[in-house]
Amino acid sequence: MPPGTSVPLRFVTDSGPRGIVEAAVDGVAVPMLVHANAGLTVMLTHDALRRVTGRTVNKESDFGLGHDLRVSERGRGSTVLASLEVAGARLDDVSCAVFDLPTTNWEGMLGVGWLDAVRPVVDFGSRLLSAPPADARPFGAARIPFALDDSVGRYIVELLVDGSPAAFIVSTVAETTLDLAFARDRGLELTDPTGVEHGPGGAVVPVHRTQQPVSLAHPGGHLATCELSVYDTYAYRGEERPADGTAVAGFLGADVLLATRAVVDFG
């Protein structure tokens, strides 16, 4: 497949909308989730790694969920893939995390490290992913800058929540979410818990919703007005909340990106 080829981004609803592409791992087709809120290069499930390579890995830490939403006994390990190709963009000798996922909709994920290395264009309107050269990238009228923040290990975009500045992680998956501490600090009225989210390290965090629609915008215009999910995003990820007040406001998810037909250029 030549570089710059567009490949379908197939969306499924699995704890919110999630976009999946077909990758070639060591020459074998694997459905992989494009996940800008995954702090890794790529990952495969234990079963996918064995299917593709015939290998297994040793457990290095407790991480990853089974289909019962409990931390998997197989835990998290690591390996190196000989090759990974998506949309004509090929990487060799790719570091790969290995852990279980509570889904059969995809067998691996393309995370922040892959996005930084390949710099793809993810078109939520046309539902395509490509990795075009710099001179062939889209230039729309309403560009919203975002950048990889090394201190967070995620892509950060500056938005406006009800007119006030707020930094969001560009998530590309699931629903747009506010962090619980941010929502409380802004005085947003919340519902009682409506359910729970299960973090990949085993955390179980209550999920609220805003009682009133919240306006999301950028300096150039309006994005969306909607009721949002609210939970402790740091507890969910198993991370310490920054003590210096630089915590992010939440995740910009696939729901808003699909609704606005966003083209997200990681180049």
pLDDT in tens, 189-228: 999 999 999 999 999 999 999 999 999 999 888 999 999 9
Of the chain, the end-to-end C-alpha distance in Å amounts to 20
Best CA proximity match to 111, nearest among 42, 48, 10, 44 = 42
Q: Kindly state whether residues 63 and 111 are assigned to the same domain.
A: yes
pLDDT cut 70: percent of the chain above it = 96
Q: Is residue 89 situated within a structural domain?
A: yes
CB-CB contact of 126 with 107 (8 Å): no
Tell me the two tokens of residue 67. 């289909």
Last residue of some domain: 110, 134, 158?
134
Last residue of some domain: 70, 103, 134?
134
Q: Kindly state whether residues 89 and 188 are assigned to the same domain.
A: no
Q: How far apart are CA 227 and CA 14, in angstroms?
A: 19
Q: Kindly state whether residues 177 and 155 are assigned to the same domain.
A: yes
- Per-residue pLDDT reduced to its tens digit, 16-31: 999 999 999 999 999 9
Q: How far apart are CA 131 and CA 126, in angstroms?
A: 15
- Per-residue pLDDT reduced to its tens digit, 73-122: 999 999 999 999 999 999 999 999 999 999 999 999 999 999 999 999 99
Q: Kindly state whether residues 24 and 70 are assigned to the same domain.
A: yes
Q: Is residue 128 situated within a structural domain?
A: yes
Last residue of some domain: 82, 99, 134?
134
Q: Is residue 34 situated within a structural domain?
A: yes
Q: Kindly state whether residues 197 and 121 are assigned to the same domain.
A: no
Sheet of strand 128-130: strand arrangement: 7-8, 128-130, 121-123, 263-265
CB-CB contact of 233 with 240 (8 Å): no
Structural domain of 192: 146-265
In this structure, what CATH number is given to the domain that contains residue 17?
2.40.70.10
Q: Is residue 139 situated within a structural domain?
A: no
pTM to 2 decimals? 0.94
pLDDT tier at 237, thresholds 50, 70, 90: very high
Q: Kindly state whether residues 120 and 157 are assigned to the same domain.
A: no
Residue 141 reports pLDDT greater than 60: no
Q: Kindly state whether residues 152 and 261 are assigned to the same domain.
A: yes
Domain count, the chain: 2
